Amino acid sequence: MARNEFPGWHGTTIIGVKKDGEVVIAGDGQVSLGQTVIKGTARKVRRLSPGGFDVVAGFAGSTADAFTLLERLEAKLEATPGQLARASVELAKDWRTDKYLQKLEAMLIVSDGKDIFVITGAGDVLEPEHDVTAIGSGGNYALAAARGMMDSKRTAEEVARDAMAIAADICVYTNGNLTVEKISA
């Protein structure tokens, strides 16, 4: 099958919500190939502890590519303990300039409980304007839903869970099997 005929992998929605001194990153469990659900219980949110500092990361895109990026991020964090922004920028620079890394197809949401960033292969390290960010197939649905709930009395986890439920109702590449990780500053 030629590369342009490959039906393509879909199916990840990752959301990061920062509210009241807490950050929650949640991800669904669906992986689809074309119109077929391949797996419904994938785990796309992980807790890392490089150098004794906790970081939570969620990824959208190719799993192997995302694990490569998470390993690189861990190495950057070990070199700069407790400096997530610096490690994220260093990873983005490598990702943008390294010929091997340039081929990786994934995106990351990372947080140390204080900051939350989206890291892309285009060399971007983005901090959300409204303390909410989302990536993946259903990311725009989850983002819109969460932004609409940020002024409510819901906790960060409730906002993330409710937004993911809305995304799962709308996006055929998103399901309700969530992995949720919380981290505080």
171 assigned ligand-binding residue: yes
Q: Which two tokens stand for residue 82?
A: 């407790």
DSSP string, 99-167: TTGGG--EEEEEE-SS-EEEE-TTS-EE--TTSEEEEETTHHHHHHHHHHHTTSS--HHHHHHHHHHHH
Tell me the CATH number at 75. Answer: 3.60.20.10
Query: Is position 142 within any domain?
Result: yes
The answer to whether residue 125 is domain-embedded is yes
**Res 1: pLDDT:** 42
Is position 168 annotated in a ligand binding site?
A: yes
The residue with tokens 């390290």 is 125
Q: Is 21 helix (H, G, I), strand (E, B) or coil?
A: coil
**pLDDT tens figures, 94-111:** 888 877 777 777 889 999
Q: ∠93-95-101 over CA atoms, to 5°?
A: 155
Count up the domains in the chain and report the number: 1
Domain extent for 14:
9-174
- Asked about 12 being catalytic, the answer comes back as yes
180 is a domain residue: no
Higher pLDDT: 97 or 133? It is 133
Catalytic residue among 12, 41, 68, 120: 12
Q: Summarize pLDDT for 41-91 with one digit per residue, the tens.
A: 999 999 998 878 999 999 988 788 888 889 999 999 999 999 999 999 999
